[in-house]
């Protein structure tokens, strides 16, 4: 079995098919691990979701901020942005089935045999593995509730849940987990999340530090796989880190990491 980890697809379905062909991906024996942000910006969000859903157990998904935003669009909490190119998906006959499938996907995936943790944006440096799994599972359970749109999706849009508080309960705790696992890039010195800066590290304000440069128990024991931060272009200069968002939807390329060979395969954006 081969394990392939792919960066933010964001509707770049044609590029996904081309990069999987390069490695002769076979879902009967291989697994595709996707770091989230499956939809938006590219032309093939509908095809991407249909394909990943069809892989069943051969696809391991973590949800990204764009995937959660799709749930908000479906629940009429937000209005579509034409730049996201989601009209075809939102009008598809099988949208309810695709939404139900997305709601079953977690915010974190682990591969214990190789000490790998995958999430969309990263892992809060304050968390150990037990905390990570507990908090992510709480969000997954909330997404499975019948009233998930009103109780969670409609209330998750806030920048106030920016600092981990182990004493917090209920919605504030869920909000922090979503913000950290799907939106995190830079942190302030106290570990609180910054939601504004997306700059490359060399251009960052001095008061901010990339989350992966903080001391963390999981950095020492696991390989952390994430996407979300296209400005990094895969460069983190940290051991046990795999940054896979390389901006395919912005005209750059899609990146696939082959675990067993430690090889990175790339597919440039197809010009339309």
Instruction: For the chain, give every domain's residue range.
Output: 3-268
Nearest to 233 by CA among 187, 199, 209: 199
Residue 271 has pLDDT above 90, yes or no: no
Calculate the average pLDDT of the chain: 96
In the block, tokens 């079995």 appear at 1
Rounded to two decimals, the pTM is: 0.97
123: its two tokens: 């892992």
Residues 6+ apart with CB under 8 A from 38: 9, 10, 11, 45, 48, 49, 52, 61, 64, 66, 67
CA distances to 18, 28, 36, 135 from 256, rounded to whole Å, are 11, 19, 13, 28
Cβ-based neighbour number of residue 239 at 10 Å: 8
Secondary structure of 196-221 as H, E, C letters = CCCCCHHHCCCCCEEHHHCCCHHHHH
Dist. CA 127–CA 129, nearest whole Å: 7
121: its two tokens: 């944006």
pLDDT of residue 266: 98
Q: What is the pLDDT of residues 5-19, one digit of tens each?
A: 999 999 999 999 999
Q: What is the pLDDT of residues 86-119, one digit of tens each?
A: 999 999 999 999 999 999 999 999 999 999 999 9
- Of the listed ranges 33-37, 118-122, 213-217, 244-248, the least confidently predicted one is 213-217
Q: What is the pLDDT of residues 130-144, one digit of tens each?
A: 999 999 999 999 999
Q: 3-268: CATH homologous superfamily?
A: Metallo-dependent phosphatases (3.60.21.10)
Q: What is the pLDDT of residues 191-209, one digit of tens each?
A: 999 999 998 899 999 999 9
Element (H, E) at 182: helix 170-183
């Amino acid at each position: 079995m081969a394990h392939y980890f792919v960066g933010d697809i964001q509707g770049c379905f044609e590029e996904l098919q081309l990069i999987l062909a390069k490695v002769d991906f076979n879902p009967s024996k291989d697994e595709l691990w996707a770091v989230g942000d499956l939809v938006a910006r590219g032309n093939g969000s509908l095809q991407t979701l249909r394909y990943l859903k069809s892989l069943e157990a051969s696809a391991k998904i973590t949800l990204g901020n764009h995937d959660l935003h799709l749930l908000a669009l479906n629940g009429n909490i937000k209005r579509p942005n034409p730049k996201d190119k989601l009209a075809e998906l939102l009008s598809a006959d099988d949208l309810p089935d695709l939404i139900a499938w997305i709601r079953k996907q977690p915010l974190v995936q682990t591969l214990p045999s190789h000490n790998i943790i995958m999430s969309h944006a990263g892992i809060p440096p304050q968390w150990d593995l037990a905390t990570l799994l507990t908090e992510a599972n709480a969000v997954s359970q909330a997404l499975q509730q019948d009233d998930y749109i009103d109780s969670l999706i409609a209330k998750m849009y806030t920048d106030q849940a920016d600092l981990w508080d182990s004493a917090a309960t209920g919605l504030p705790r869920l909000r922090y987990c979503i913000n950290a696992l799907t939106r995190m890039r830079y942190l302030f010195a106290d570990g609180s999340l910054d939601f504004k800066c997306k700059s490359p590290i060399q251009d960052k304000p001095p008061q901010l530090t990339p989350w992966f440069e903080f001391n963390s128990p999981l950095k020492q024991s696991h390989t952390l796989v994430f996407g979300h931060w296209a400005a990094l272009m895969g460069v983190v200069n940290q051991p046990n880190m795999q940054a896979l968002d390389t901006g395919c939807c912005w005209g750059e390329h899609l990146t696939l990491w082959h675990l067993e060979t430690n090889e990175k395969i790339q597919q440039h954006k197809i010009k339309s």
